Amino acid sequence: MNRLSATGSDAEIWCHTHSGTAYDFEEYLDIVREFHGHAAPGLLIGGKMVDVALSRISREILFDVICETDSCLPDAVQLLTLCTIGNGWLKVVPLQRFAITFYDKYEGEGARVYLDPLRLDAWPEIKNWFFQLIPKADQDSDRLKEQIRAAGDGILEHHRVRVDPEYLGRKKSGRKTTCPVCGEAYPVAQGKICRACDGGSPYIGTTDKKDKNME
Amino acid sequence: MNRLSATGSDAEIWCHTHSGTAYDFEEYLDIVREFHGHAAPGLLIGGKMVDVALSRISREILFDVICETDSCLPDAVQLLTLCTIGNGWLKVVPLQRFAITFYDKYEGEGARVYLDPLRLDAWPEIKNWFFQLIPKADQDSDRLKEQIRAAGDGILEHHRVRVDPEYLGRKKSGRKTTCPVCGEAYPVAQGKICRACDGGSPYIGTTDKKDKNME
């Protein structure tokens, strides 16, 4: 891993990408803001979690990632690795535990990193935020950011896990056909009409596209 | 929208980001490869879909995005807008229709863009890929890429939709506590133990962290 950051800063390195590019805390803040819109605390800690996970797996394997929450943390993975929602190498399993697992995509052996609540007593601002002990408006975001930076990997734990084979590989949606109702393509396995036309549409009102192209 | 691309190229613009940065086809290919690992056809078309969606909504609103498939397309949204999985402004509704909707996050009014199967007869290589009519190994990826580029928005349709109110806003997971089994934080609403310890774990074998920190 590099000693100097991507821009040559000699500030302490906060995290690395899968390919070894290093970011100090402020540089990482910048890429977080650019991708995620704001410097969410969970995503700052997430950068360090990715860094720990990367350091605990062999560089010889092809890895996939499980993220156990859909809040913030998936974006740390997407920013620092090639594992994304769209390529399926990142899977979100919405247990709402603050944890990520980097694992051998064929064998399932991996390293799981999580935030250890027992370690938060030393970091009251992180604890306030993590357990939502005080309203967001009353939290001190600068102090929170400083505690996250100072705590580093000291609030994290890691252990080895084996991913259930049912999570290995990617589910293919299979052969597609055209839905007789909406006229769009959908997987044949869904049935005679597509799941959206079968009551699963996230839209209300007209679905017959009568108003197509109208402004 | 800009006439010149982000790097000053005068090649035809393929797509824009939410803030108006323009990419020609080759520039967009580069950012796709960097984020997604490879130039997936669905993500190339996805860039044009995002471009059409952005052009059909008012720039005065705060928008969220629904993506109707988890394959490729979410990454076009994440690359070109601030809507991501981790900030919740991008929601994946896994209907496996090739469509995205950009909508007013408070009111639900939006523009939906989809690939129209009827328009694929003019583009046999896109049709082969989209309906998986021939094995992937037999598809001509260069020809596919060229057809995607030449087709542009000519294979897309768009119409106005209203998003069901149940999809508006973000579900909060609520107050957290510590699970008596795993010792990690989880939402109280899940019950007396966390969902992972209650049979929802994606891991097999030991879950008691006995092997914690062992290499």
Whether B107 and chain A come into contact, CB under 8 Å, resolves to: no
Query: In this predicted structure, what is the pLDDT of residue B207?
Result: 53
B184 contacts in A (CB within 8 Å)? 97-99, 114-117
Weakly modelled stretches of chain A, pLDDT under 70? 1-4, 206-215
In this structure, are residues A15 and A27 in contact, taking their beta carbons and an 8 Å threshold?
no
Residue A203 and residue B75: Cβ atoms within 8 Å? no
Burial zone of B64 (CB within 10 Å; 0-12 exposed, 13-18 middle, 19+ buried): buried
Which CATH class for the B173-215 domain? Answer: alpha beta
Query: In this predicted structure, what is the pLDDT of residue A213?
Result: 42
Is the pLDDT at B213 greater than 50? The verdict is: no
Q: What is the pLDDT of residues B176-202, one digit of tens each?
A: 999 999 999 999 999 999 999 999 999
Whether A133 and chain B come into contact, CB under 8 Å, resolves to: no
Q: Considering CB atoms only, which of A66, A112, A173 is closest to B96?
A: A173
Whether A171 and chain B come into contact, CB under 8 Å, resolves to: no
Query: In this predicted structure, what is the pLDDT of residue B151?
Result: 98
Residue A97 and residue B160: Cβ atoms within 8 Å? no
Q: Compute CA distances A45 → A5, A63, A83, B72, whole Å.
A: 18, 21, 18, 27
Is the pLDDT at B81 greater than 80? The verdict is: yes
Query: In this predicted structure, what is the pLDDT of residue B5?
Result: 74
Confidence of residue B170 (pLDDT cuts 50, 70, 90): confident
Quick one: which of A159, A49, A57, A58 has its CA closest to A100?
A49
SS3 readout for chain B = CCCCCCCCCCCCEEEECCCCCEEEHHHHHHHHHHHHCCCCHHHHHHHHHHHHHHHHCCCCCCEEEEECCCCCHHHHHHHHCCCCCCCCCEEECCCCCCEEEEEECCCCEEEEEEECHHHHHHCHHHHHHHCCCCCHHHCCHHHHHHHHHHHHHHHEEEEEEEECHHHCCCCCCCCEEECCCCCCEEEHHHCCCCCHHHHHCCEECCCCCCCCCCC
Residue B211 and residue A71: Cβ atoms within 8 Å? no
Query: In this predicted structure, what is the pLDDT of residue B11?
Result: 83
Q: What is the pLDDT of residues B10-41, one digit of tens each?
A: 789 999 999 999 999 999 999 999 999 999 99
B211 contacts in A (CB within 8 Å)? 159-160
Whether A154 and chain B come into contact, CB under 8 Å, resolves to: no
Q: Which residue of A has its CA nearest to B196?
A: A95
B201 contacts in A (CB within 8 Å)? 95, 164
Whether A173 and chain B come into contact, CB under 8 Å, resolves to: yes
In this structure, are residues A96 and B195 in contact, taking their beta carbons and an 8 Å threshold?
yes
Q: What is the pLDDT of residues A81-91, one digit of tens each?
A: 999 999 999 99
Average pLDDT, chain A: 92
Is the pLDDT at B9 greater than 80? The verdict is: no
Q: How do the domains of chain A map onto residue ranges?
A: 13-167, 173-215
Segment B157-163 shows an average pLDDT of: 97
Quick one: which of A81, A91, A87, A92 has its CA closest to A51?
A81
Query: In this predicted structure, what is the pLDDT of residue A74?
Result: 98
Query: In this predicted structure, what is the pLDDT of residue B212?
Result: 47
Query: In this predicted structure, what is the pLDDT of residue B3?
Result: 55
Quick one: which of B174, B175, B182, B173 has its CA closest to B201?
B182
Residue B184 and residue A114: Cβ atoms within 8 Å? yes
DSSP code, position A198: I
Whether B188 and chain A come into contact, CB under 8 Å, resolves to: no
Q: pTM of the entire structure?
A: 0.93
B84 contacts in A (CB within 8 Å)? 35-37, 74-75, 78
Query: In this predicted structure, what is the pLDDT of residue A4?
Result: 64
Query: In this predicted structure, what is the pLDDT of residue A173?
Result: 80
The CA distance from A12 to the nearest CA of chain B, in Å, is 24
CATH architecture assignment, domain B13-167 = 2-Layer Sandwich (3.30)
